[in-house]
Amino acid sequence: MAIQIRGLEVRFRDTRGKDVPVLDVKQLDLEDGRRVCLVGGSGSGKTTLLHVLAGIVTPTKGEVRYGDVDITKLPEAERDRFRAKNVGYVFQSFNLLQGLSALENVAIAGTFGGQGAHEARDRATKLLDRVGLSHRKDARPGTMSVGEQQRVGIARALVNRPKVVLADEPTASLDDERADEVLALLEEVVKEEKATLVLVTHEQRVRERFSDVLDLKELGR
Ligand SMILES: Nc1ncnc2c1ncn2[C@@H]1O[C@H](COP(=O)(O)OP(=O)(O)O)[C@@H](O)[C@H]1O
Ligand SMILES: [Mg+2]
C-alpha cells in the first residue's frame, strides 16, 4: 500500500512543559512495494516516525495518507482497526502479552485482524515454524530469551499478511545467523504480499541488504 507523508511534525512536551521538536518530515512517498531501510542516530526520531506511520502516535502537524485515507484524521477506534488489518509492526521492545503463550500471542493478532480462530492458529503455527520456534510455541514470553521473543514479535507482525510492515530494529537481539534468517523471512513475506517495508536499523550489515536507504536527517526541512 502506498503511503504519503506531508508536512509532518511531532513535538513532545518535556517535564518542564516545554515543547521539544522530535520529528520533522517535509515529504516522504512510500510507493507500493517499496522496501526501505531507515537510519539515523539514537534519539533522531526513528521509532517516533514508525509510531506515526502505524497511527500509534498522532503527529502535532501534517498528513499521513494510506491511499485516500489520512490516518491522522481517523477516530482512535477506526485507526486501531485499520492498523490491525493493514500494518504489521515489529516493536523494538517486543510488546508481547506475558499471560499468553508464543502461539497465542501470534494467533490473537490474527483474530484482531479479522481471521477466524482456526485460521489464525494455523497461520501462527506456520510462522512460528518459519522463525524456528516450533518447539517453543507453548512457552510464555517471560521464559524465552530476548532473541526468541523478538522472533515471536516478527511472526506476530506477519500474521495478517499486512500491506505495510514496520520493523523497529528487528534483529537487534539476534545473532548473525538468526538475523539473516529473520531478514530473509521478512523480505520473502513482504515480496509475496507486495507489501511496503520500512525497517529501522543501526547495524551496517542489515543496511547493506537494502538498495534503498533513507537517512532521517535528510527528510527534514
Ligand atoms: N512519549 C514521549 N514523550 C516525550 N519525549 C519522547 C517520547 N517518545 C520519544 N521522545 C523523545 O523523542 C526523541 C526521539 O525518540 P525516538 O523516536 O525513540 O528516537 P530513535 O528511535 O531514533 O532513537 C528522543 O529525544 C526521545 O527522548
Ligand atoms: Mg528507536
Q: What is the pLDDT of residues 25-59, one digit of tens each?
A: 999 999 999 999 999 989 999 999 999 999 999 99
Q: Which of 10, 11, 12, 39 to mutate to test the pocket of ligand 1 (most atoms within 8 A of CB)?
A: 12
How far, in Å, from the CA of 36 to the mean position of ligand 1? 21
Q: Which of 15, 22, 91 to mutate to test the pocket of ligand 1 (most atoms within 8 A of CB)?
A: 22
Q: What is the pLDDT of residues 121-136, one digit of tens each?
A: 999 999 999 999 999 9
How sure is the predictor about 220, in pLDDT bands with cuts at 50, 70 and 90?
confident
How far, in Å, from the CA of 14 to the mean position of ligand 2? 18
* Whether residue 58 has its Cβ less than 6 Å from ligand 1: no
Closest alpha carbon to 87 in 35, 199, 165, 4: 165
* Whether residue 47 has its Cβ less than 6 Å from ligand 1: yes
pLDDT (0 to 100) of residue 221: 58
Region label for 106, one of left (φ > 0), alpha (ψ between -120 and 50) or beta (otherwise) = alpha
Q: Which residues contact 208 (CB under 8 A, 6 or more apart)?
A: none
Threshold 0.85, pTM exceeds: yes
Sequence ranges of the domains in the chain: 32-61+75-218
* Whether residue 46 has its Cβ less than 6 Å from ligand 1: yes
Helix, coil or strand: residue 59: coil
Q: What is the pLDDT of residues 166-206, one digit of tens each?
A: 999 999 988 999 899 889 989 998 999 899 999 999 899 99
Residues within 5 A (CB) of ion ligand 2: 46-47
**Residue owning grid cell 523497529:** 168
Number of the ligand 1 atom closest to the C-alpha atom of 13: 4
Assigned CATH for 32-61+75-218:
3.40.50.300
